[in-house]
Structure formats: structure tokens, C-alpha cells
Amino acid sequence: MRAIAAMLCMAVVLSLAPLAAAANGCGRPGDVECGSSPVNNCDVTRNTSFTPGIYSLPGGIDMCASYVRLQCNGAELRGAGSGSGIGINSSTRNVTIEGCTVSLYNNGIYVGGNYNTVANSTSKDNKADGIYLVDYNVARNNTLRANGGAGIAIYFDNGNILDSNVAEGNAMGIYIHWAGGNTLRNNAMSGNTHNLVLADSQLGNSIDTSNTVNGRPVYVLQNIRNQVFDRSANPGILICSDCDNITVRDLSFTGNDPGLYLSYVRNSLIVNVTASSNWADGIVLTGGSANNTVMGSAASMNRFAGIAVYYSSVNNTIEGNEVVGNTGGINVYKAQRNRVINNTVRGDKGFYGAIVLSESSLSMAVNNTVTGSSYNGMSISDSASATVSGNNVSLNGGHGIVLGGFGADQNSINHNTVSANGKHGIYIAFSFMEANTLLTNTICGNNRAGSYVDLYNQGQTNGGNNTCQTSVGWSEAGEPGCTYLCAYPGLTVVTRGLPAGLLGEFSRVQLEARGGVPPYRWSLAGGSLPGGVVLHPDGVLNGTPTESGNFSFAAKVEDANASQASKPLVLTIWLSYPQPLLHVEKWGPTPVPGRTLTYYILAENRGSEPALSHMVFESLEPWFSFVSADPSPTNLTEGGIFWELSPLQPGGSLLLSYTVQLNITTPNGATVRGPACPYPWFPVPPNTPIPPPPSQVVLPLSQCITELSDCLLKIPFTCLQACVSSPEECAQCYSKEALVCWLEYEECLNGITSPQIPLPELSCDIDEEPVRTPIDPNEKESMQGRFIRPGQTLTYLIHFENVGTVEARDVFITDQLDSRAFNTSTVRILSGNGTFNPQTGVLRWTLVNISLPPNGTGTVLFSVKPVSGLPSGSNLSNNASIQFEAFPPVVTNSTLHTIDDVPPSCAVDPLPNVTYAENFTLSWGGTDPLGEIALYDIFVAEEGSGFRQIIAGNFSLNATSGTFTGTQGRTYAFICIAQDTAGNVELQPPVPEARIRVNGPPAILSAPPLFSRQGAWYAYNILAVDGENDTLTYSLPTSPSGMLINASTGAILWRVNVSFPPPPSFNISLPGGGSGVVTQHPVVQVPVEAQATDSAGLFAVQAWNITIGQSGRLVPS
């Protein structure tokens, strides 16, 4: 397999090598000596110094003599995408090139001879390599930037010195292929797709730690013993040869070749290593490496194997690793007695298999999970006495397990589950293979591609107790086929629901079924899908929707026995995604100086998808002293509290609380507040990876966030109209004024804010109360707003306070729920020792012997859902009673909620067809038949393109107009979408509500005649159009004497009359012995400029030259 990989590698190398990499050629016809100002194709044969400047030299220049120096003095040579900027041919030696900038060639600098030096130069933006070296040359202090191949490339050549070069933004920083004896010192490679690539050149070159990749040192070591490599060493590349008892842990190797390369390494441990996106293999054990363990590591998106064990390496263990998306997941080649155990290999793209044992006898692959590979799951090739046991091999595009090749004898395949693979489940490929056994495997549901079976046997293989449905060439217990048949349950569509899509955005969903006899075939049984979306026979529902709305349809699946099942589904296509699914509500008691106060935060998933990887941040103001939190925070600093949330299903919620003490010196009337915000602080579309929260940040003080919020809320509409959704950053692009707010925010934090922190979302919930003296705050509140969605969980707080002068020993709280409004089976008591009687609907808290002191407070909480099926407009009201000891009970205020599942609507006000100003007023408004509008989102489509969001309504509910800036000649269409306080979002098709065109200049479509003769009439009728059908006026800002133009029609007429210089003449010999004189009449070019102007003064200009000539004539002598 490694040999095959090497051939693939070679093919890739050749494809990356510059085509016809060579010098341009010395002594070409027309070549001249390069002087101080080089000309195209010139040659350097003596010491030469260029004058600084930029020179367009498509053919480049060549160094055509040995022992000469070219000093460019910063001059830049620019090409046209081919050839070499500076070429040194194979016979030229001891040349020095210094201070040159070379760009836009195929190769920047090609060094084809030996003992040459390229120094202090820049090679950039070339199609292939920046500097290409053959044997025994020096490249020092050069900058290689944005080249399509390597910054510096060495193919098959030796003895070069690369010193103090900088390679950034290239496809490869430094590329060395099948080469040895090269020396690398002090080279810095960063930001390249692959920084350092040592293709089959890992050993044999001199590379020390002065070289760096993305700022991390390169380690190429030999004969190392008993050493640990971890984050303290921080290697970007680690190559170790003849090493013993080393540990490599907690490191990542990305974007190089190799990542981690161990040759003849023994008794070593590789643990918690990440190898990703490397040019070839991720983690490599080779060259007789023995008794090593690779465990708990991750290898992903490498171009060849994620983890490789090559060439005589023995007794190595590859265990518990995650190997994803490589081209050859785990590859064991020509390596005996190795163990591949408990690994997960997913999404492999290699042709041979996700786990391969090739020419690797006495090895084992046990208890691995192999799924989702493009081709085969596992391949045992040319190996004997291997064990393949306990593996789960499923959903691979090719065969599940393949056994093949010469010498593939006495292998044991047992206790594996092989299911739902595209081709054969287990494929025993050749008849000459002997004494292999298959025992107790479950091989079911394969042949998803058709024309295949669960078990296909062409070899001399035996076994028993296997389970399969279909087979070829196999029999057990004297019966054709397996001992047991696959037991398929009834066919069922198991897809529960579909994620919402976005208009104009491609999406893909795989419908799933269980039971029956695969393969399955899917079809549409009823209803309709949005335009652009198709249900394919393999159950893939994909496409780019051209309509928005709710689309109901029935999906039908049929199995191999013609059994059928169907299920109704709804696909929602949004014009824009709703606001973030994680919603935060906060409640706090009356702030009284000196008191201990408990605040409650409810995090609720109001979306239709699970909320994963979310956090909640609570800002602590400086007048609060933290006491405790429940649950314990993930992170606590002087500035605030972070809670990391467990996943929340749709409709799920989590109650957080924290207790603080308010400073006794806080004056009455002062406002205390602190925002509670979800993280991420920006809308994240479905199926979009969520960026990790900042790991080490100094949390801002709440007043900084408050000032930022106030600043952003004051931004005028004109600054917001350019906002575009961007989940990678903040989901709104802020204008200059918003950036000013952000700078003021950073200044508020005295420069301690990490730049990783995105702008806080302005929908954070802030409990804002004035500090005051005690009053009777016995009250009931809800953490939800007035309008709620059906089925939404309601969280109630009952707050009590002892306003007397002596302590209250006992407190009794009662709350009666109306079973007609509240679903009593959903009651959850969230705090206190409360009880609930579902028969009576009464909640009770009996707080005995709590000895509540004067001015002491307390809170109890519970949650409940409304009765299902309540129509929109239904009201839910509730109160509670609070009794202190034997005193009369106090009845709290009543809470009120209204069921609202009716979306609001809004529209952009009509606009004129045409505006002559680039800045024009845009206004909109909306209504909600039941609830309250929370925000408006405004979308624009330019010139018939898809709609994009330009205003997110979180900024200001009151903003219903503003100035939009358009571009001349462009047409704009607008849509408004409203969302109400219950979370209902207007769902509408992408049909413009208002449309306008910004007056643009006319366009001249015709082409003028370019030639005429002396004394002839020159005529040209200008054809111009105007997008607004304005009347055009024509003029000639530049014209020859006597040229006329019709101002209304654009017709130009001119009797050509120009002055010619004296014509040159020369003698010629005629056939037959005569002679003559040729007179060469010159031509004259006359510049003309015509202009078409509309009624608004916008104009189009057309400029050209008319060539006027006279024919020459032959005059006999």
C-alpha cells in the first residue's frame, strides 16, 4: 500500500511541479544585453545593476554567464503568467542574484545551474514556484509570498542551503521531494496551505529548530532517548529517527508533511495528538518502529493516511483514536504483528479501505467502528494469519470487508457486524486464497448500490454461525447461504422532522428508514416540495429552494421485497433564519443596600432544533459581592459568571441562579443592573459549526457593556443599511459609527478585552431596578413575557419579604392552578420544599422555622406548561397567597399570559419607480393581530439577485424609516419580515414589497468606424440607451476641426481633412533588372471623444482614434 501511496504521491508531485520549469534561454533571436533598465528577453553576461522601478518583461531575463552578479536594487520584474522571471541555465555557475522582486511568472526565479546564490529578493504571485533550485545552490534572506506552488522548491536535488527565508501565503512554503543533503536554517513558514513539505525526504536533510512553521519550531532528531515532547517544546513538525522511550503528547500537527514522523522508534507513547490537513500522512510509524502505542489521538483531513504503520514496523498498537476524512484512514503496510483496536474511522476517501492491513501478516483489527467511507470499509490484502474481529463496519460506499491478494491465507474474520454498505458486505476476492475462516458475523442490509450481496465468496473459505440474507459461493451446515437469515423488523420511516432551510441556500437531508429488507427506494407519495428541492431515490432530500413557506408532503420508502411505508413531513423554508434559538430571561428582587439578593436566569430553547454548545454569561457590577451560584459556574471572574449549558432540546429550559450581596454604601436611587446574555452572542444558522467560546478572557464590567449597548442603540439607520449576516463574526457588519462604539468599549476596559470576544447581542435580558428602602414586595412574577407560544414552559417566582420589626419564624405559601388553563402533569417545583397535589391543583410551601429576619427576603419557584390545544388569544392568569405565621395571608398580584401563535406582518412602504438621488428614504411598518411586534428585519435584493438582510431589528424597535444608499443604475427590491414577542416570525415568499431604481448614466452600445481616407466623408451614428428612458443629449468634447454632431440623434459627420508629414521614399530593384521608387504615405491618428448626457446630468463617454491614411504608389525610374 505504501508503494501505491508513493505512486499517488509522485503523480501529485508531478501535477504540482511547474510545467517546463527551466530558464528562458540565452542567445535567443533578438536577445540583447540587459542594461540598467532591463528590456524583455534580455541577457545578463556581466555584472549588472538595475535602476529601481517596475519593468513589464513577459519573457523575463536570463543569467547567461558564470561568475556575474545581478543587483536589482529593489527593481520589480513583472511577467504575464509564463516562463521564469529570472532564469539561470544548467551550465551557469557562481551567479549571484540580489535585491530583485519577481512576480506574475510561472516560476519566479529558476536556478538551473550549481553554486549560485539568490539573496534578499522577493518572489510573489507566480503560478508555480517562487524559487526553483537544482543541486548545490544557496537561497538566503528571501521573501516568498502568494505563489501557486512552493515558495522554494527542490525536486530530486541535493546540497542546497536555505537560510533565513520567509515563506507566507503560498500553496507550500518549502517543498523538498526525494532529495537529501540539503540544509535548512532560520526559515520561517507561515500561512501557507502546507508550510513545510518533505515528500519522501523526511530523513537525510539537515533541518534544525531554527526553522519554524506558523511560529513553532521544526524538530528533526536522531538517537533521542527517554524524552517527552509536549506543549513546552511545542513542535510544529516532529521527525524522530532511531529514538527510544519517547513520549509525544498534547500536541497538534497541521498543514505540513509529515505531521508526526517516527522512524525506527521503539517503546514510545503517542497520546492526545492531533494531526490534520497534512500534505501526506498524519501520524507515521515506519522503518522498523516497534512496541509503540498511538492512543487517544485524532487524525483528520490528511491527504493520505490518518495513521500509518509502514515497513517492518512490528508490535505497535493503534488504539482508541478518532480518524476522520482522510484518504486512507489507518494503513498498515509491510508491517507485521501490529494491533488496530477500538478506533473510530469515519468519512474516509481512500479507494482501498478505511482500515487496511496490506502485506502485514499476524496483525489484528479488533473492535473498530468504520463508517461513512467513500469506498471500502476494511481491506486485508496479501496478509496471512490476521484477525479481524468485533468490528462494526457500516454505511461505507464500497464493500464492507474485503479479503484478497496473494498469500491471504489462514485469516480469521469473526464476530463482526457488517451492515448497510454500498456493495458486498464481506467480499472474499480470489479463488487461490486458502484456509480463511468466517465465524459468527452479522452481515445484513448491504447492497445499497444494487447487484451485490451480503456475502460473496470466491476463495477456499469456511465457517459457520454467520447471519446474512443473500450470498454467492457460500454455504454453511450443508445449506446454501448462512446459518441464520437477517431478521428485519417492519419497514418504518424513522426521520422525525426536517431542519428548516433558507431561501437560496443549498441544503441536504438524508431521510432514514429501518426494518424491511434493504436496499430502500424513496419517492414522493403526496404533497409538494419547494421549487429547487428534490427527493432522490436514495432518500437524499436536497437542493437550493426558490420558494419560502411551509411545504407539507409525504415521503414513501419501498424495500427490496416491495414493502412500503410512508410518513407526512413538513419542510420549512425561511426567507431569513429566526433569531437565535437560545432565549434568556432574568429576574431579580428589589435591591436594598446591605441585603443578600438572589437572581434567577432562565435559559430556554425556543427553536425547533437542539441547542448545543451554548453558554450563558452574567455580568457582575462592582457594587455586588458574589456569594454563590447554582449550578456552579464554569468560570467565575471579577467581571462576571459563565455557565456552560448541557444540550437543550426544543422547548427545554434550564434555571440558573446566583446570590450576591449589595454594598451597604450603595445610595438610594442608584440604578443597579447586569445583563444576562447567551453565548454565542450572534444568530447561528442550522448546521453551522459554533465557534468555541473564548477560553481566557477578562470579563468586562457591566457598565462597559451598558455603555456599548446605549451607543449601539443610538446608531442611525443609515449606518445599519449595509449590514450582512455573517455567522463567523457577529451576524451583523457594523458601520464606522458602530466601530467607534466598540473602540469606546475597549477603552472602557482599559485594553484588557480579548479580541476574540464578539459584540454582545442586544437582546440580552437586563434586570434594572433603582436602589430603595424596603417596601412590601410580596409578589408573583413570571420569567416569560405577556405573549407566549403554545406549549411554552412558564416559570413563576413567588417573592416574599418580612417587612416587620421582628423575625418571622414560619412562612406558608399557596398557589392554586386552574386545570382548565395549566397542564398539571407538567408542574415542576424548582426551589424550596414545596408539594403539589395534582387532584386539587394546589402548590404549597411550608417553610417552618426559617426565622426570616426583619427585611429578610425569600423566593420560591415552579414551572408549568399551558394545557395543549388552547387557541390563540386564551389568557392564563394566576396569583398566590403568602402567610407569615398566624397573620392574615397576603394575596399577590396576578400574572397574565396570552397564547399567541399568530405571526405578525410588516411591509415596506411604496417607493417611486425611479429616484435621481443615491440616498433615498426607506420606511416600513407592521401589525400584529394579537401580540406585540418585537423587531423588524429588512432585506434587499439588488438587480434581481437573492435577498440579503440589511437591518436586524434588534437595534431599535422604534426605527421604521431611514436613508438607504444605492448605486447609480441599480434596481433594488425590499422586503420586511416581523417577529413578535412570542417568537412568531412572519413567513412569506420572496416577493418584493417595494422596488426602486437609482437613476444611472446612459450606456453607449455602438462601435465607431476606426479608419478613413483623406477627403472622404466620415459618418457614425451613436447608439446609446438609458435605463430610465431619459432623453439624451449628444456632444463632442474632443473632435477634429469640421466634425459635426446632431445633439438630438448623435449622428456624426465629417469631411476628412488632415495634414500629413512628408512621405518617405526609397529605391527598389524590380524583377527583370529594372528599378523604381516607393513612396510610403504615412497615416495620421485623430482623437475623438463623444458624450451622451441624460436629463440628470449623468453621462457616458466614448473615446477612439480614427486612423487616416493615403495609399503608396510605385513610380518607375
Q: Look at residue 1 in the predicted model and tell me its pLDDT.
A: 35
Whether 406 contacts 384, CB under 8 Å: no
Q: Look at residue 1096 in the predicted model and tell me its pLDDT.
A: 82
**CA angle, corner 649, sides to 646 and 651, nearest 5?**
120
According to CATH, the topology of domain 582-769 is Immunoglobulin-like (2.60.40)
Residue 1036 burial (CB count, 10 A): 16
Q: Which of 677, 642, 697 shows the shortest CA–CA distance to 760?
A: 677
Sheet of strand 1051-1055: strand arrangement: 1017-1021, 1051-1055, 1044-1045
Q: Look at residue 1049 in the predicted model and tell me its pLDDT.
A: 93
Helix (H) or strand (E) holding 737: helix 736-748
CA distance 644 to 638: 18
Q: Which cell numbers in the block locate residue 230?
A: 509536549
CA distance 239 to 236: 10
Using one digit for the tens of pLDDT, what is the confidence trace for 366-375?
999 999 899 9
Q: Which of 226, 209, 220, 216 shows the shortest CA–CA distance to 195?
A: 216
CA distance 963 to 429: 72
Residue 938 burial (CB count, 10 A): 25
Helix (H, G, I), strand (E, B) or coil at 310: strand
Q: Which of 19, 299, 16, 326 shows the shortest CA–CA distance to 177?
A: 16
Whether 259 contacts 236, CB under 8 Å: no
Cis check for the bond before 631: say yes or no (omega within 30 of 0).
yes
Rg of the chain on CA atoms, in Å = 39
Q: Is 1097 exposed, middle or buried (0-12, 13-18, 19+ CB in 10 A)?
A: exposed
Whether 893 contacts 780, CB under 8 Å: yes
Half-sphere exposure in the Cβ direction for 862 (13 Å, CA): 29
According to CATH, the topology of domain 492-574 is Immunoglobulin-like (2.60.40)
Residue 484 is classified by DSSP as: B
The CATH number of 1-214, from 2.160.20.10, 1.10.1020.10, 3.10.580.10, 3.20.20.150, is: 2.160.20.10
- β-pair type (330-333, 521-527): unpaired
104 residue type, one letter? L
Whether 415 contacts 443, CB under 8 Å: no
Q: Is 1109 exposed, middle or buried (0-12, 13-18, 19+ CB in 10 A)?
A: middle
Contacts of 469 (CB under 8 A, 6+ apart): 444, 445, 454, 485, 486, 517
Range list of β-strands (E), 420-491? 426-428, 434-439, 442-444, 455-457, 460-464, 467-468, 471-472, 475-476, 479-480
Q: Taking the mean position of all CA atoms in its chain, how far away is CA 1047?
A: 56
Specify the CATH architecture of the domain 775-899.
Answer: Sandwich (2.60)
Q: Look at residue 1114 in the predicted model and tell me its pLDDT.
A: 31
- Those residues of the chain that have pLDDT short of 50 are 1-20, 681-706, 709, 712-763, 772-776, 954-957, 1111-1117
Among all chains, which residue has been given the C-alpha cell 544557496?
138
Residue 517 Cα distances to 476, 488, 496, 560, angstroms:
22, 6, 21, 5
Q: Is the CA virtual torsion 837, 838, 842, 848 positive or negative?
A: positive
How many residues does the structure list for the chain? Answer: 1117
CA distance 692 to 1000: 46
Q: Taking the mean position of all CA atoms in its chain, how far away is CA 379?
A: 33
Whether 457 contacts 472, CB under 8 Å: yes
**CA angle, corner 1057, sides to 1054 and 1061, nearest 5?**
145
Using one digit for the tens of pLDDT, what is the confidence trace for 171-225?
999 999 988 899 999 999 998 988 999 888 778 899 999 999 999 999 999 999 9
Whether 1001 contacts 1029, CB under 8 Å: no
Q: Which of 959, 910, 907 shows the shortest CA–CA distance to 935?
A: 959
Helix (H, G, I), strand (E, B) or coil at 708: helix
Bridge-partner residues for 463, per DSSP? 438
User: Are 1-214 and 492-574 equal in CATH topology?
Assistant: no
Residue 723 is classified by DSSP as: -
- At 14, give phi and psi (nearest 5°): -60, -35
Helix (H, G, I), strand (E, B) or coil at 706: helix
Q: Which cell numbers in the block locate residue 753?
A: 478585552
Range list of β-strands (E), 668-707? 671-679
pTM assigned to the model: 0.49
Range list of β-strands (E), 759-874? 765-770, 779-782, 787-788, 794-801, 811-816, 822-829, 834-837, 842-847, 857-866
Boundaries of every domain in the chain: 1-214, 217-346, 492-574, 582-769, 775-899, 905-998, 1003-1116
Q: Which of 599, 611, 605, 607 shows the shortest CA–CA distance to 653?
A: 605
Q: Torsion-angle region of residue 189: left (phi > 0), alpha (psi -120 to 50) or beta?
A: beta
CA distance 332 to 345: 14
Helix (H) or strand (E) holding 717: helix 717-720
Helix (H, G, I), strand (E, B) or coil at 905: strand
**CA angle, corner 168, sides to 164 and 172, nearest 5?**
100
Q: Which of 484, 416, 481 shows the shortest CA–CA distance to 453?
A: 481
Range list of β-strands (E), 18-149? 43-44, 48-49, 54-56, 61-63, 69-71, 76-78, 84-88, 96-98, 101-103, 107-111, 117-119, 122-124, 131-133, 138-140, 143-145
Whether 656 contacts 601, CB under 8 Å: yes
The superfamily in CATH containing domain 1003-1116 is: Cadherins (2.60.40.60)
Q: Look at residue 758 in the predicted model and tell me its pLDDT.
A: 32
Can you state the angle between helices 702-713 and 736-748, rounded to 10 degrees? Answer: 160
According to CATH, the topology of domain 905-998 is Immunoglobulin-like (2.60.40)
Among all chains, which residue has been given the C-alpha cell 479507494?
351
